[in-house]
Structure 1
């Protein structure tokens, strides 16, 4: 069992435990400071936390060891998800609504958390990344029935393998049973202007529930 460091967390202002919690998960090789600014564009009716991934990599941090881009090693993903859930259970008891927003590698991690325990989360945004297929979490038909999932992809994304992007799109929109909010853009591996407009609206609807 790996021994990970204590979580490093950037908060957008003060945490208010009476509000829903939105957790922002950065991409591979980045850190919490690169994504916490997204909270400036999201509804004020939540607390926002960006967590630093536990594995040092390339001047930044990663959520799991992998066997290729977008392909987590199952044992590593299991360990880092357990580490994350220990932190989450401290700041968000089971009766506190938690929404996940992940970008790139953080999208795969958010997807792993959601797939491993769909009841725990109010939904997830899978931004410009893949679900962690073949990595020990269930991806059976109907597994996310009724769970809100925002999925955004760029048609010109050359970072995440196209096979994984297509598999993620098909699973979320056709097979998972999720209440999907899909959007595809002509751009690449970055947040488009259109997604930047639609994501806050989607988050606002989730928070109102």
Structure 2
């Protein structure tokens, strides 16, 4: 895989917190970058294009069903992403992830693979990548900070995967979790966006555990 295509917004200071936006399946980096307009000023925002062309857009991994990554494809994507990330943001710079839909599953995969690498992770209207070769053991995310937003009427992500993500993050992972469900489908509710912005501001201003 070649180096990813990346769109940026916010501060260019390499010492500033680095917030990475991960788009959904069939979308691209330009669409998800618009989210930065509703988030706190201060960080450097980077929207990364997924590596697999699909449906006029791009995807993070091959699926064996909606929300169910092919393990080998997910592994290749994680390694590709980490090679880019570790070159542009060496360990020591705070990195935060915000993923939507398929990008939420990818963000969750990055977090499960290396929980200590990320300052905080938002999983928006998507599922963690269960049964895809990554550990989802009890306490795996101890010390991590996670924001979860789901739509009560989401018919895109299978309900059993949304429920499993809700249960694991809140009750089993060991993470510090802010989770909400809003009466929407597969899209970001305005109230959830406001909550996400407030949560992100808190992550950026409080000391890391």
Band the TM-score falls in, shorter-chain normalisation: over 0.9
- The answer to whether the 8 A contact 2:4-2:49 is kept is yes
Matched, 1:102 2:111: no
Where in structure 1 do 4 or more consecutive aligned residues deviate above 2 Å? none
Alignment RMSD (CA, Å): 0.8
Structure 2 residue runs of 5 or longer lacking an equivalent are: none
Aligned pair 1:58/2:68, yes or no? no
Matching residue of 1:20: 17
- Kindly report which structure 2 residues correspond to 1:140-159, keeping only aligned pairs within 5 A, or say none: 140-159=137-156
Following the alignment from structure 1 to structure 2, what is the Cα–Cα distance between the partners of residues 145 and 18?
26
Q: Name the CA distance, whole Å, in 2 between partners of 1:13 and 1:131.
A: 28
Deviation of 1:5 after TM superposition, in Å, equals 2.5
Q: Is residue 185 from structure 1 mapped to residue 204 from structure 2 by the alignment?
A: no
Give the C-alpha shift of residue 146 in structure 1.
Answer: 2.1
Flag structure 1 segments of 5+ consecutive residues without an equivalent.
Answer: none
Q: How many residues align?
A: 206
Distance 1:126 1:177 in 2: 16
Aligned match of 1:128? 125
Q: Deviations over 1:127-183 (max 9, x none)?
A: 000000000111000100121100000010000000000000000010101100000
Cα distance in 2 for partners of 1:147, 1:80 equals 22
